[in-house]
Copies of this chain bind each other. A is one copy, B any other.
Amino acid sequence: MAIRSRSVVTIADVARACGVGTMTVSRVINGKKHVSPEMVQRVEEAIARLNYQPNEAARTLKGRTSRTIGLIVPSLSDPFFSQCAHAVQQVAAEQGYMTMLFACEANRNVEAEELSQMRSRNIAGILIVPSSENSLEQLQELRRNGMPVVMIDRTFAGIDVGEVMVENIEGALRATNHLIDHGHQRILCVGYDREYNSISQRIDGFKKAVQNASLQPQYLLVNRGVAIGPRVIAALRSPKPPTAIFTLNNVTSVAVLTALKREEIRIPQQVAIIGFDDFDLASLLAVPLTAVRQPAAELGRHATRMLIDSLRVGNGTGRMPSRIVLPTELIVRQSCGCEPISRIPHSK
């Protein structure tokens, strides 16, 4: 025979304990004006004594918006996303917001379902690393209803959301140039097909660098789900094989490295490699990987601040004009053929 007693202390209890009305207590809690100092003290004492905590559900119901932001990422197994999520959660917490976490596994249905959940839960705003164009319409609908939205890492055209990106073109350009500087003439760009504009931009950067050097760009772009390793090996066994590889993201780098290891192809002697997206263990690899570092945590931080700012000023229906683009950094290690030296910060 369970007696449910969770969170029994209500604002009314506090009010009664002080012999005042609930409104007075409410005003004290919310730091409003028009309360006498002594009253503030008396109420605060009672709150502490009774261990009172406001019921967020009631507040949300009344105020129409919870102090909660939703974060949708494709997955947490990719350190890029988990670092980003981590930063989001931290900044949000600092600002008094909770983070509702969603990992959609790049599944459009899941993403859609999650967005719909957001609506019913009076989420204050949405941070999303969008996985597919399919949710676009739903996001637009949410925007129309005044929901602030910030896209991280990737964006889609035609929707007025906040955007926090990295300098993909410049980063890819810089990386490719580095390979060219090493004397490579046949460079293979490996990754998933132009799913997102971030990937597109990286491909564009690669192309630009290669063409600037009057070389022929080579591509190996596959669809999600296709094993990329064997394709790379095949390319390396073709008549005029690439002497260097530029991988478009984290998972691609790992896939390629794994394949190269299995086939015992030596880096950088037989093939050099630079990856877009750095990761913690890159320096401990058999051949430490030269990589374009994306400031994952920074991305998350900026996005969260942007979102919360727009929450504060506007009532949500305002536009989301902002766009932040963060620089990348080329971390030179040995997979490109360099002796390990230094970091080359990247600026325009």
Contacts and interface: CB of A to CB of B under 8 A. Distances in A.
B76 A317 contact: no
Interface in A87-141: 89-90, 93, 98-103, 105, 110, 113-114, 116-117, 119-122
Contacts of A315: 2, 4
Contacts of A145: 5-7
Contact of A61 (B2, B55, B280): B55
Contact of A77 (B56, B83, B110, B120): B83
A284 B120 CA distance: 44
Contact of A75 (B2, B77, B86): B86
Sorted nearest first, the 5 A-B pairs with minimum C-beta distance are A2-B317, A101-B101, A57-B60, A82-B82, A76-B86
Interface in A11-29: none
A325 interface: no
B101 A56 contact: no
A286 B317 CA distance: 53
A53 interface: yes
Interface of A: 2-7, 53-58, 60-61, 64-66, 68, 71, 75-77, 79, 82-83, 85-86, 89-90, 93, 98-103, 105, 110, 113-114, 116-117, 119-122, 145-147, 254, 257-258, 261, 279-281, 283-286, 314-318
Given A57-B60, A79-B79, A318 B2 contact: yes
Copy total for this chain = 2
Contacts of A261: 283-284
B101 A64 contact: no
A280 B76 CA distance: 13
A53 B119 contact: yes
Nearest to A260: B284
A47 B346 CA distance: 53
B93 A146 contact: no
8 contacts: A6-B64, A57-B60, A57-B121, A85-B101, A90-B103, A93-B110, A93-B114, A258-B284
Given A6-B145, A257-B284, A103 B121 contact: no
Given A5-B146, A6-B145, A98-B100, 20 more contacts: A2-B315, A2-B318, A6-B64, A6-B65, A6-B147, A7-B64, A7-B120, A56-B121, A57-B61, A57-B66, A57-B122, A61-B61, A68-B100, A89-B101, A90-B105, A93-B110, A99-B102, A254-B281, A257-B284, A286-B286
